[in-house]
Amino acid sequence: MSETITSILEEHRSFEPPLGHSGSIASLDAYQALCAEFTEDSDASWGRLANKHLNWNKPFTEVLNRQHAPFFRWFEDGKLNLSENCLDRHIANGLGERNAIIWESEAGLVRHISYNALLADVCRAANAMSALGIEAGDRVIIYMPMIPEAAIAMLACSRIGAIHSVVFGAFSAQALRDRIEDTAARLIITADGGARRGAIHALKPNVDEALSKGCASIEHVLIVNHAGNNVDMRAGRDLDWHDALKAQPDQRPPLSVDSEHPLFILYTSGSTGKPKGILHSTAGYLLWARLTMLWTFDFRAESDVFWCTADVGWITGHTYSVYGPLACGGTTVMYEGVPTYPDPGRLWKLCADHAVTIFYTAPTAIRALIKAGDTWPEQHDLSKLRVLGTVGEPINPEAWMWYRDVIGQGRCPIVDTWWQTETGGHMITPLPFATATKPGSATLPLPGIDAAVVDEYGNEIKKGSGDGGLLVLRQPWPSMLRGIWGDDQRYIDTYWHKFNGSYYFAGDGARCDEDGYFWIMGRVDDVLNVSGHRLGTMEIESALVSHAGVAEAAVVGRPHDIKGEAICAFVTMKKTIDDSMATALAAELRAHVSKEIGAIAKPDDIRFADNLPKTRSGKIMRRLLRDIAAGRDIVSDTSTLEDQSVVQQLQQRR
Ligand code: WT7
């Protein structure tokens, strides 16, 4: 642990929250009062909030069932439907003509979709899925670009109780196949392609390739004709989305499901093995999606325009591009393209054009846009912005300051939100009108969230001691993962084993300062965070080793000023190679990883070696590799190294 948690950031700036506001939690006192309510009786507090914020078809009588811990069950005997809570409910309140989604394509095409129109399409899609035999509990893979149909497909699944699993559109055919096989999905919803940097990124060929081997569970593929790309249609299996929807009525009663009915599976990387299918269920997830919109962003559905730039392929896109804003009856912005197309002013132009009031993005995007220069944001009217958020990785104080000064013009509070795919929604974050912020700190846990920094034995580390430790959550919360799809034991081993079932272990290192503020210090396991994307080193190593010429591979991260971390692979080939072959071979290996996982997993550096540095017992010395990758002096102890000459060779070959 100590190797990862070394640098202690010294940061003393602090910014008071704007005053005179009547936000959802409008003062530190209000925050503390709410926290105290939870300390007093957390079940009663959660129960009160669940009754207040969700529409129930059958009310629950028990808030939390801990009997099968760590398989917790929330609001167990209640019944509801998620799409009804996100759509019908607001329409019944007279909001049918409000914009639910404002979508813009990379080319600049804009669509406004009202709640009425969204519900009609969701019903048609739900009917179309039923017509294909999809029933409650069946899994549906969604492999789409950032287009409204992705949200429609997700909501349509929830309307009939089907479980969606969104696969990020830039993942490879192989990654898609792994997810199809693990979920045993019956249906794939995809598109002919999506826009990326002015070109069309095709999706259907990947689906065809995935289905060419195994994947026997898939019966149908629905294809949204979006990009005007030619698509091979396999008779009997492939259907056009628009044709299928046109044939269906625009009404469909929502299926009332149990609170714990599975809502979605989303794959994320861990330190070992294949990505794990994180399972989320209905009521608790929806409650937290809605509450965190109100608390963290002070979201006001009647006047705010909310834009979270994340793709629906990630948890942030699930909770804050789709479910959170819609659960509140608000307006969410979706953008299909890349942030720097046609120029680095694109995000700021979108904010101005759609009068965005709350903007939520990743530090990596902020860092890239800082590099592009202040003239880009200066060209656009950002005066409507009132809250700015970041997520996905630690934000360096200088990027935080730029975000505050240049984008927020000193006026907008910054909310640095710490959470994970597994937590469903925010856990540690400032409240924009209650919490004083410090650049680089996610500040305090939300009410109801019992976060702590502990040592290896689970003892809390004294606040303000300056020592780092492990971040844990000591009480269950409604939007927590319900397990790993098909692998209960892995769920227990990964998250609960370390502290004997009593704490949830997040996998992050952190430190708590004298004010109780959390400073997240990054992963303590073999998980990399590349541009806010989570990647397992072992996954990349397996991809490399699956290349016929590779004997062994070790992957580590190294600091990168825009991506946060870059991927560095140390590779030994089965046959000896000379330097003249290295460049071509490295390119081949990078392409191979891209094919196995996706372009986001491509190593930035590949270094060939005759041997990897190992201890006498055969363990790869990753610490040493991290030093070499970063170009640092070797700080780790190399006395146990079997072959000392390896280090020199690795340092030379870069
Ligand atoms: C990991 C979770 C949560 C949605 C996006 C990523 C890192 C996340 C922060 C933050 C420092 C952060 C952690 C965490 N992380 N937010 N505000 N400050 N680190 O979700 O792919 O499940 O990754 O991202 O290391 O464990 P994810």
Encode pLDDT of 307-353 as tens digits: 999 999 999 999 999 999 999 999 999 999 999 999 999 999 999 99
pLDDT band at 5 (very low <50, low <70, confident <90, very high): very low
- 27 near 435, Cβ under 8 Å? no
From residue 330, alpha-carbon distances to 250, 322, 327, 506 in Å are: 22, 10, 8, 31
Whole-number pLDDT of residue 654:
55
**CA-to-CA separations, 571 to 587, 611, 630, 633, in angstroms, rounded:** 13, 8, 16, 21
Asked if residues 428 and 442 have their Cβ atoms less than 8 Å apart, the reply is yes
Give the 3-state secondary structure of residue 520.
strand
Say if ligand 1 is within 6 A of residue 149 CB.
no
Q: Which of 179, 191, 184, 182 is nearest to 152 (CA)?
A: 191
CB 197 within 8 A of CB 159: no
- Write down the residue that tokens 């792994």 correspond to: 178
For the chain, what percent of residues have pLDDT higher than 90?
Answer: 90
Residue 116 has pLDDT above 50, yes or no: yes
140 in Cβ contact with 156 (< 8 Å): no
Q: Is 362 near ligand 1, meaning CB less than 6 Å away?
A: no
Contact between residue 315 and residue 391 where contact means Cβ atoms under 8 Å apart: no
Ligand 1 close to Cβ of residue 417 (< 6 A): yes
The number of helix segments (H) and strand segments (E) in the chain equals 21, 30
Contact present, 259 and 78 (Cβ < 8 Å):
yes
| Cβ(416) – ligand 1 distance below 6 Å | yes
ω into residue 70 within 30 of 0, thus cis?
yes
Mutational pocket test of ligand 1: of 480, 508, 531, the residue with most ligand atoms within 8 Å of the beta carbon: 508
Q: Mutate which of 296, 318, 391, 495 to test ligand 1's pocket (most atoms within 8 Å of Cβ)?
A: 391
Cβ neighbours for 55, distance < 8 A, ≥ 6 positions apart: 80, 84, 85, 89
User: Is any ligand 1 atom within 6 A of the Cβ of residue 345?
Assistant: no
For ligand 1, atom 23, name the residue with the nearest CA.
420
12 C-beta neighbours (distance < 10 Å), count: 6
Task: Give the DSSP letter string of 105-161.
Answer: -TT--EEEEEHHHHHHHHHHHHHHHHHTT--TT-EEEEE--SSHHHHHHHHHHHHHT
% of the chain at pLDDT higher than 70: 98
Beta bridge partners of 64: 74
Cα–Cα distance measured from residue 129 to residue 155, given in angstroms and rounded to the nearest whole number: 12
Residue with more model confidence, 22 or 122:
122
Amino acid at 387: V
pLDDT in tens, 184-204: 999 999 999 999 999 999 999
Going from the Cα of 392 to the center of ligand 1, the distance in angstroms, rounded, reads 4
Structure tokens at 311: 């793709």
DSSP assignment of 553-568: EEEEEEEETTTEEEEE
Evaluate if residue 571 carries a pLDDT over 90.
Answer: yes
* CB proximity list for 393: less than 8 A, separation 6 or greater: 362, 363, 364, 522, 529, 532, 564
Output the pLDDT for position 9: 56
Dist. CA 70 → ligand 1 center (Å): 22
Give this prediction's pTM.
Answer: 0.95
Q: What is the pLDDT of residues 244-301, one digit of tens each?
A: 999 999 999 999 999 999 999 999 998 888 899 999 999 999 999 999 999 999 999 9
Is 392 touching ligand 1 by the criterion CB < 6 Å? yes
Give the pLDDT confidence score for residue 644 in this predicted structure: 78
Is there an atom of ligand 1 within 6 Å of 206 CB? Answer: no
- Closest residue by CA, ligand 1 atom 8: 392
Report the separation in Å between the CA atom of 391 and the middle of ligand 1, taken as the mean of its atom positions.
6
Q: Residue 651: its pLDDT value, please?
A: 78
Regarding the beta carbon of 316 and ligand 1, being less than 6 Å apart is answered yes
CA–CA distance, 571 with 425 (Å, rounded to integer): 38
Residue 523 in contact with ligand 1 by CB distance below 6 A: yes
Average pLDDT over residues 516-531: 95
* Residue 395 C-alpha from the chain's centroid: 16
Residue 3 in this model has a pLDDT that exceeds 60: no
